[in-house]
Amino acid sequence: MKAGVAILGLGASGDAAARLALSKGDDVYVSELRTDSATQERARGLRELGARVELGSHDLARIETAGVVVVSPGIPPDSPVLRHLDEGGWPWITEPEFAARFYQGSLIAITGTNGKTTTAALVAHLLNSGGLRAALGGNVGEELAPAASALALLDPPPEWYVLELSSFQLAGVQELTPDIGMVTSLAPDHLDRYPDLASYYADKKRLFLNANPESLWVLNGGMDAVRALPGQAPGRRCYFALDVSDTLPVREDGRAHPSDRDEPGGPSSVDSGERDPGSTPDAGAFLVGRELTLRLASGREVSVGQVDGLSLLGDHNVMNALAAALTASLAGVSVDSIGKGLASFKPLPHRMEPVLELDGVLWVNDSKATNVEAARSAVESLKRPGVVLLGGKDKGETFGSMVAPLANRARVVVLYGEAAVRLEGELKAEGTFPFTLLRVDGGFERAVSVAADRAQSGDVLLLSPACSSFDEFRDYRARGERFAELAHGRARARSQDSSSKERS
């Protein structure tokens, strides 16, 4: 007879899952290969609560006796312990799936390649500012909100749980059933972990595994890969897009929409035919001029504010605002409250975050842009000439598509880190371009210094790396924090220099 809970991995999500299981009276076993000081500290805390914790190895025999096996997202699918479970037919779930089994309110689950953290935080903000008790958690990062399991311990429970879910967290979904599910975008990512793009998209598609006729799906109508992702899953499809035509239903005759050609490697376009202006559209969100506009379920169109009233930078954040506004409306927030909430929301750290303006140069920290599509969106959003920092740890994506947006927005592009050589080769292979391309050896700080020296008054100095941070930093947050420190250090040095000149 299987009993108890086995938790693999002791990061933030594993720790939260263990505490949740202990609170329910379960026998809890936790195993983790790491033995660093932070992990040992977490292990001590769980042992004091009654868990058995093993560091440095996984006890496969003990794991097999558990009634529930919870896997942390940091454990890759080809790891020996997961291969053992899969080959033996032992089922496992991820931490948000485990957490949601104890939720007492409605669930909004948000996934996508880019934009999901900002959108999830904005959805929670709109719900709370609109008078609905909402709790944010999941993949958003410890500095913003807790792991999904921590939300299950809230007392009183919220009316709405808002979870950001990565593809890694969706991989083990068995029963997760969101009341509202959202896909912000789809683009190549994590190809250092997945064998191909189809495998990555397949994990994203597990969001729809338990769809029912009452499900509400908020989808990026401008991306046919997103439109196709649900397949034949039941539920209402509500689209957000910059263009109202992309929020319309699709034809049923199987004819492909022309923009399918822009989604190589995505799901088959057979499921997403041409937009059908003759069909009755469901709720949606789009722009009318510079107005953020909602189409309500009644068909009435209402404005919830101006693009210029957002504190978020870039068209991709306009899309995030439209997605969040549509979701909040479906959850029952009034139009007036949505408008006020959009105006009061502030940018999240490391996501097109203005750091400071020095000598006419605006420093912008977009360290969270760890894939090519995110960096493309950031560069395309620039309204001023740019000095752009690209580089870090190579994730296996191709970089050639960066040339076009860089050619339109950048004066100087500075390459650094492990990926710099391949970046340089692939950008140059695209032919001639109008910007100056500099590959800098000597690490991140040297690259930032070179970029700052090349920036001119009126420029944006943008860190939007298109790569992960793991060649030099523990994560994208540490990279972004160092970028901000270097910016403020340069400002202090400039101020001290000015003071010295005044005294002399």
Per-residue pLDDT of 171-180, as tens digits, reads 989 999 999 9
Helix 116-129 crosses helix 315-331 at what angle (to 10 degrees)? 40
- Least Cα distance to 185 among 248, 262, 103 occurs for 262
Handedness of CA 404, 353, 466, 136 (dihedral sign): negative
Percent of the chain residues past pLDDT 90, beyond the cut: 83
HSE toward the beta carbon, residue 106, CA cutoff 13 A: 19
Q: How far apart are CA 187 and CA 164, in angstroms?
A: 17
Based on its alpha-carbon atoms, the radius of gyration of the chain, rounded to whole angstroms, reads: 23
Average confidence (pLDDT) over 234-247: 97
Could you tell me which residue, 15 or 1, shows the higher pLDDT? 15
Q: Is the pLDDT of residue 17 over 80?
A: yes
Under 8 Å CB-to-CB from 56, ≥6 apart: which residues?
A: 32, 33, 35
pLDDT tens digit string along 145-164? 999 999 999 999 999 999 99
Residue 349, preceding peptide bond in cis (omega within 30° of 0): no
Average confidence (pLDDT) over 381-387: 92
pLDDT tens digit string along 100-142? 999 999 999 999 999 999 999 999 999 999 999 999 999 998 8
Helix 315-331 crosses helix 335-344 at what angle (to 10 degrees)? 140
Three-state secondary structure call for residue 177? coil
Q: Which domains does the chain have, with CATH numbers?
A: 5-91 (3.40.50.720), 102-344 (3.40.1190.10), 353-500 (3.90.190.20)
Average confidence (pLDDT) over 274-297: 84
Structure tokens at 172: 């083990």
Q: How far apart are CA 141 and CA 166, in angstroms?
A: 11
Under 8 Å CB-to-CB from 60, ≥6 apart: which residues?
A: 81, 84
pLDDT at 276: 61
Query: Dihedrals φ, ψ of 55, to 5°?
Result: -110, 145
Contact (CB, 8 A) for 257 and 271: no
Q: Is the pLDDT of residue 75 over 80?
A: yes
DSSP calls for 268-282: -GGGS--B-TTS---
pLDDT at 366: 95
pTM: 0.85
Q: How far apart are CA 270 and CA 254, in angstroms?
A: 5
Position of tokens 């000095």?
A: 387
Three-state secondary structure call for residue 440? coil
Q: For 348, which DSSP code? A: P
Q: Is the pLDDT of residue 281 over 90?
A: no
> Which CA distances in Å does 229 have to 224, 414, 446?
8, 36, 42
